[in-house]
Chain A
Amino acid sequence: METAITATLSPVETAVETAGLTLERGGKLLFEKMSWAVPAARFLAVTGPSGSGKSSLLACLRGQIEPSAGTVQVEPGLPNDIGTIFQHLRLTGELTVLTNVLCGSLGLKPWWKTLISFGKDQQQRAYDLIADLGLSPLVHKPVRSISGGEQQRTAIARVLLQDPPVILADEPTSNLDHNLAEQILTRFRSLCVERGKTVIAVLHDRELVERFADLELTISSDLENGWSLRTIER
């Protein structure tokens, strides 16, 4: 397997970088000495078997868990600069689809400006995203009353409204049919190409990885140090 490290990928500015990253969870070594850098405007797919540490890596990248060794650098590094689509979505079930999507913009305003309402412009932007993802009939429905796939699209719309430079997505298409998954990943791809966003997504479907990602990071205990990185030719 080809293992490519940073400098060979692209000369442009680095968006996310790990150096000597080692991660243990529950006494088990997931991977060690992980060093790579993803330049801005790239799509990195994270693959590997269940329990290999893909979600833990994402948690580590967003600063949620401390690495056992090594460092993580995300540029520019403010909390609002990383958008996350969580594996368990973390939507507020009692709130409507619209309000959940609007929550993506919470970091853009101080609390006193979102205490009563989000403002008309923001609401319109949120609704446009909701409509784009085919959720407009559900806009005022509480999230707990809609299906898993619809909830997943709501979480995606939320991160799109947040519009961060770096998007971390943990199995963003796991509840979607193939067509919808393609539609979402096409959108992520265009965010990279047209708007210079960096997307790091855990994906299981090999075909989707080959079609949409620029890089594939595989985490598996079968690999040396528990990981490998390869560039996908396009």
Chain B
Amino acid sequence: MSSPNDIPVLTWRERFTAFRATLLLFAIAVVFSLPALSGSGRDLDYIENLRRFAAKFFPPDLSILPQIFSALGETVQIAIMATVFAAIVALPLAIGGSRTIAPRWLNLVVRMILNVIRTLPSLIWALLAVAIVGPNTLAGVVGLTFYSIGYLGKFFSDAFESIDTEVPDGLRMSGADAVQAFQYGLLPQVKPLIASHVLWMLEYNIRSAAIIGYVGAGGIGLMLHTYQEFGQWDRFATVLLVILVLVTTLDFFGEWLRKRILNPE
């Protein structure tokens, strides 16, 4: 028998929050996924395999550094061009996809297009581009451009929806037309976010551009593919090292720059 002074007890339904439900679902999913750990079924010495394979990487062949830097330049060029083209295309798409700016029917159409684009990974976009423009850097640019449009379009749309619409509305009430209200009331608020997203996309594209060479889309990935095909693991290791240094540097620099863009004071 409970008295009015007792702590009220929650029913199991009240305690079964969305978080706990997700945790339960995840636990069930883990159990169902256990067969993925079965491997080939052969009795292999994984550690010995790893030791033998890793040994082939050392010492890395640094004599190919000049070629790597040239290919790396190509990779960065691919990433820069793809990011620029994607940002240019994504901006108007994002305006159409933003509920605070465009009509609902246009939001749905644009968001569906962006979702479809994002469904395909960059490697598939690169494969398609290689089939269309041949195995060269242009294929890399085309492939990564499409891939990035899907992401930047969504990021920009979300940015437009996250800002204070009172400011552009206020300008409209004082006689500004729709373009002026957008340019002076809305765009300045999202500019730092847009710049930050573009920078993130550029970092991401440099990483992707290093891989899409595998399918013939130019850049440093092509070298990775070649050295793997010929079993030149010491050279393969040098390429990996250079990619590692580049990506780490980009990470630090990108984060530093993004912080300054988003918090200028």
Inside 8 A of A159's CB, which chain B residues have their CB?
174
Given the contacts A95-B188, A99-B184, A106-B184, A64 and B177 also touching, CB distance less than 8 Å:
no
Q: Mark B161-190, 1 if CB is under 8 A from A, else 0.
A: 000001101111111111111011100110
Residues 147-162 of A at the B interface (beta carbon under 8 Å): 158-159, 162
Inter-chain CA distance A92–B171, complex, in Å, is 10
- Within the complex, what minimum Cβ distance (angstroms) separates B229 from chain A? 51
Inter-chain CA distance A83–B176, complex, in Å, is 11
Verify A162–B173 contact, CB threshold 8 A.
no
Verify B192–A79 contact, CB threshold 8 A.
no
Verify B191–A79 contact, CB threshold 8 A.
no
Most B Cβ at <10 Å: residue of A78, A106, A114, A164: A106
B265 within 8 A of A: yes
- Within the complex, what minimum Cβ distance (angstroms) separates B224 from chain A? 43
Verify A86–B170 contact, CB threshold 8 A.
yes
Verify B167–A106 contact, CB threshold 8 A.
no
Verify A162–B183 contact, CB threshold 8 A.
no
Verify A62–B265 contact, CB threshold 8 A.
no
Given the contacts A90-B167, A94-B189, A79 and B183 also touching, CB distance less than 8 Å:
no
Inside 8 A of B188's CB, which chain A residues have their CB?
92-95
A88 within 8 A of B: yes
Inter-chain CA distance A88–B164, complex, in Å, is 12
Residues 117-143 of A at the B interface (beta carbon under 8 Å): 142
Inside 8 A of A99's CB, which chain B residues have their CB?
184
Verify B189–A106 contact, CB threshold 8 A.
no
Inter-chain CA distance A80–B175, complex, in Å, is 4
**Chain A residue nearest to B170 in the complex (CB):** A90
A91 within 8 A of B: yes
The one of B169, B180, B265 that contacts A114, using a Cβ cutoff of 8 Å? B180
A108 within 8 A of B: yes
**Chain B residue nearest to A79 in the complex (CB):** B175
Verify A107–B174 contact, CB threshold 8 A.
yes
- Within the complex, what minimum Cβ distance (angstroms) separates B130 from chain A? 40
Given the contacts A103-B176, A106-B176, A162-B175, A93 and B189 also touching, CB distance less than 8 Å:
yes
Verify A111–B173 contact, CB threshold 8 A.
no
Verify B265–A106 contact, CB threshold 8 A.
no
Inter-chain CA distance A142–B189, complex, in Å, is 12
Q: Mark B38-65, 1 if CB is under 8 A from A, else 0.
A: 0000000000000000000000000000
A27 within 8 A of B: no
A26 within 8 A of B: no
Verify A106–B174 contact, CB threshold 8 A.
yes
A12 within 8 A of B: no
A115 within 8 A of B: yes
Verify B167–A80 contact, CB threshold 8 A.
no
Given the contacts A90-B167, A91-B167, A106 and B180 also touching, CB distance less than 8 Å:
yes
**Which residue numbers of B lie inside 8 Å of A, CB to CB?**
166-167, 169-181, 183-185, 188-189, 191-192, 264-265
Q: Can you sample 24 A-B contacts with CB below 8 Å? A: A63-B173, A64-B173, A79-B174, A79-B175, A80-B175, A84-B173, A92-B167, A92-B184, A94-B188, A94-B189, A94-B191, A95-B188, A103-B184, A106-B176, A107-B174, A107-B176, A111-B179, A111-B183, A115-B179, A142-B264, A145-B265, A158-B174, A162-B175, A164-B174
Other than the given A80-B175, A92-B185, 18 more pairs (CB < 8 A) read: A63-B173, A78-B175, A79-B172, A82-B174, A84-B170, A86-B166, A88-B166, A90-B166, A90-B169, A95-B188, A99-B184, A103-B184, A106-B180, A106-B184, A107-B174, A107-B176, A110-B177, A142-B264
**Which residue numbers of A lie inside 8 Å of B, CB to CB?**
62-64, 78-80, 82-84, 86, 88, 90-95, 99, 103-104, 106-108, 110-111, 114-115, 142, 145, 158-159, 162, 164
Task: Give 10 closest A-B pairs by Cβ, nearest first.
Answer: A107-B175, A80-B175, A90-B170, A111-B179, A106-B176, A94-B188, A79-B175, A106-B180, A111-B180, A92-B188
